Structure 1
Amino acid sequence: MTNARSYVLAAGGTGGHMVPAAALAAELASRGHHVALVSDDRGVRFPGLFEDVETHVLPAGRLGGGPLGYLRAGRNVLAGRSMALRLYKELKPAAVIGFGGYPALPSLLAAFRAGIPTVIHEQNAVLGRVNRFVAGRVKAIATSYDQVERMKPGWTAKTHLVGNPVREAVLRLRERPYPALDEDGIFRVLVTGGSQGATVLSQVVPDGLALLPVHFRRRLQVTHQARIEDIDSVRAKYQAHEIPADLATYIADMPEALAWAHVVIARAGASTIAELTAAGRPAILVPLPSATDDHQTANAREITKAGGARTIPQRAFTAAELAKQIQKLGLDTQGLENAAVRARSCGRPHAASDLADLVESIHAPTAPIAIRRKAIQGRLAHA
């Protein structure tokens, strides 16, 4: 490829940042470009995402902890920026793309200092703190939702709706039909709290499923991802309720787990929503109440409004409420299939490709206009 370039992706260490970064890395690599990842220790070791990508760990400070904490964070950010500047002299990146999270900050500050074009991608429906801090200086802002809170009006001209990239294996689920559910067939429930698990799901879900009528409860098959400190007690609950359940602290093949499920009970993290809408799976969502700026509640709005999910605030997430919602879903086969279609309608399957187009276009002043026009004309239609 004669116009092959080098790109640096900078992302925080959680799955919400790393999964879309990995999807973009794969897309850019497929176009013949060289891609390097800059993150923290967690990010570069994220299982199954970056085995074929050059990775670098830079120091980054997380704000907090009083005056000493801020001072320590500032020193780490400056040290990370210096290391990134040295790295850029070697890699000569055509652009630096930030995916949020504190580990992305030093790389973006170094790009500003070196005059390297920058793009940020926001996975959530609320602009995150690091992205908010740098948004005024970057050349383009890519968003996952049509409406994103904490965006300033002055940024509209450089903002582009692309969606939240997911792994190719998840995208392929769009080609597979929703699993048939006979009246007396097995009802398959996937429970996942994201890459870190969720204790509240482990506390409530087994007891909620146990409240279902006996004829329904006997049809259940559960796959439940739980935190390591919760897994033994969760297993004991399912056994006491005589509900068949497979438990794991990490689901290695999440695409296959999604393909298997009739309904998903989950948090409302950005990657979770992107995968649910890519695959077309109905969900019961319990947003994390402590999420910064309550962004998980904002993430859940689109799919819930479309009818592809039901959102229950954590304060109202009780065993009785869960049983009521599951029974409504499970006893209406046609309604469940309709919810799957509505969840799928919120997906943006071209997100990785459109984000890569935007990244490649950042060198040509008029090219981003074409990206925006493409979105308006339906390139990002929920196919």
Structure 2
Amino acid sequence: MVPAAALAAELAARGHHVALVSDERGVRFPGLFDDVQTHVLPAGRFTGGPIGWAKAARKMIAGRSMAIELYRGFKPAAVVGFGGYPAFPALAAAFHCKLPTIIHEQNAVLGRVNRLVAGKVSAIATSYAGVERLKPDHEPKVRLIGNPVRQSVLDLRDRPYPELDEDGIFRVLVTGGSQGASILSDVVPDGLALLPVHFRRRLQVTHQARIEDIDEVRAKYAAHQIPAEIATYLPDLPERLAWAHVVIARAGASTIAELTAAGRPAILVPLPGATDDHQTANAREITQAGGARTIPQHLFTATELAKQMQKLGLDTLALANAARCARSVGRPDAARDLADLVERIDQPSLFNPDAPARLQVVA
């Protein structure tokens, strides 16, 4: 939803009329689409065996019919899908109405819905130079765009990496994404406690945790005498990112995009159950560039975390270099470039000042 919102903001700034089509979950993200016209369509996940598949199919068919009716009044110049089952009915309706279509793939592995529609869309925008599961015959319509991030994160690119001297406070941000991650809550406090005393005493931690984990996490940090702020949600995450010397996180697409936009070194623990192991693929570019260290979850122990933290944190020059390496693989113009691609899909609309294009974001 974050890259969809970033595209919507860029298109609206250019004078286009943008609408969001998603399911009930998608339209509820706080603060992302407050000024955007929204439409809720039914969509289902094809899980749960034959009965679940039948229910999902009925929802998809109903959603497609509703989207076709919506297009008759809205008359979109283009439909942009951001993957996931909620995008499928609106894209299927766009194919029926012969509308220009674009899909954006946030991950380094083409997602299931995007794989399903890739052969029919007008263009495929990717976030990584190498994306697995793309067929060779799709290559002519692939464009490397990057993953759009919020302007508040993009603004961090103009701020220097926070200075760190040998006796200064070392700030650590721990985040498992929008839902937290229990493995980080289980391992990180104990891992930081294994650091040498002179390093541990400099730590200041902000840790986003699941609500069911928060009391235990708070107790662990207190027992280890490590100053830590624990929260289930960080509304000021961009500012926390600006403040951090190292980030310990999952390897979701938006997390990687924000780390590389801001230029922050990271220790990444990809979610092992992610579809097609896409989080491991997401982490590859920043890790190979030297901006992150990736630890598979089955190897993510307190001892291993302490070892990697010492390699990153005890050499201030190496740490600053890792920040530069993370920044080097960022694609800060992703929202602009994706908006350019959308406009080129319906070129005549650019030259009609009396009728700005009505562009639809499907997420």
User: What is the TM-score normalised by the length of structure 1?
Assistant: 0.90
Q: Distance in 2 between matches of 1:51 and 1:247?
A: 28
- SS of 2:343's equivalent in the other structure is helix
Structure 2 Cα separation of the partners of residues 36 and 280 of structure 1: 32
Which residue number in structure 2 is paired with residue 381 of structure 1? none
SS at match of 1:51: coil
1:171 to 136, 154, 158: 154
Which amino acid in structure 2 is aligned with residue 21 of structure 1? A
> SS at the partner of 1:36?
strand
CA drift of 1:55 comes to 1.1
Amino acid at match of 2:116: F
- Cα offset for 1:93? 0.5
- Identity over aligned residues, as a percent? 78
CA drift at 1:220: 0.4
- 197, 201, 210: which one pairs with 1:214? 197
Q: Deviations over 1:120-174 (max 9, x none)?
A: 0000000000000000000000000000000000011100001000011111101
Q: How does 1:27-38 map to 2 (within 5 A)?
A: 27-38=10-21
Match of 2:240 in 1: 257
CA distance in 1, matches of 2:259, 2:333: 15
Supply the AA of the counterpart residue of 2:136. P
- Counterpart CA distance in 2 for 1:47 and 1:183 is 40
Q: CA deviation at 1:363?
A: 2.0
User: SS where residue 41 of structure 1 aligns?
Assistant: coil
- Equivalent residue of 2:207, what SS? strand
Q: Which residue of 2 aligns with 1:151?
A: 134
Moved over 2 A (4+): none
Q: What is residue 359 of structure 2 aligned with on the other side?
A: none
Determine which structure has greater relative contact order: mean sequence separation of CA pairs < 8 Å that are 6+ residues apart, divided by chain length: 2
Give unmatched runs, 5+ long, in structure 2.
351-363
Q: Could you tell me the TM-score, scaled by structure 2's length? A: 0.95
Tell me the distance in 2 between the aligned counterparts of 1:363 and 1:45: 30
Match of 2:353 in 1: none
Counterpart mapping for 1:321-336 below 5 A: 321-336=304-319
1:355 aligns with 2:338: yes
Per-residue deviation at 1:254?
1.3
Aligned partner of 1:87 among 70, 73, 90: 70
State how 1:1-383 maps to structure 2 within 5 Å: 18-364=1-347
Q: Which amino acid aligns with 1:34?
A: H
| 1:53 counterpart letter in structure 2 | V
One-letter identity of the residue aligned with 1:56: H
Unmatched tracts of structure 1, length 5 or more: 1-17, 368-383
Write the distance in 1 (CA, Å) between the matches of 2:253 and 2:285.
Answer: 12
**Cα distance in 2 between the residues matched to 1:363 and 1:59:** 28
Distance 2:61 2:218 in 1: 46
Per-residue displacement from partner, 1:71-104 (whole Å, max 9, x unpaired)? 0000000011111111111211001100001100
Deviates more, 1:245-254 or 1:275-284: 245-254
- Shift of the alpha carbon at 1:364? 3.9
- Does the residue aligned with 2:25 lie in a helix, a strand or coil? helix
Could you say what secondary structure the match of 1:124 adopts? coil
Distance 2:297 2:329 in 1: 24
The one-letter code of the counterpart of 1:264 is V
Supply the AA of the counterpart residue of 2:21.
V
Aligned mates of 1:195, 1:91 — CA distance in 2? 32
Aligned-partner SS, 2:230: strand
Aligned length: 349
What CA distance in whole angstroms lies between the structure 2 residues aligned with 1:344 and 1:361? 29
Amino acid at match of 1:151: L
Measure, in 2, the Cα distance between the counterparts of 1:159 and 1:281.
28
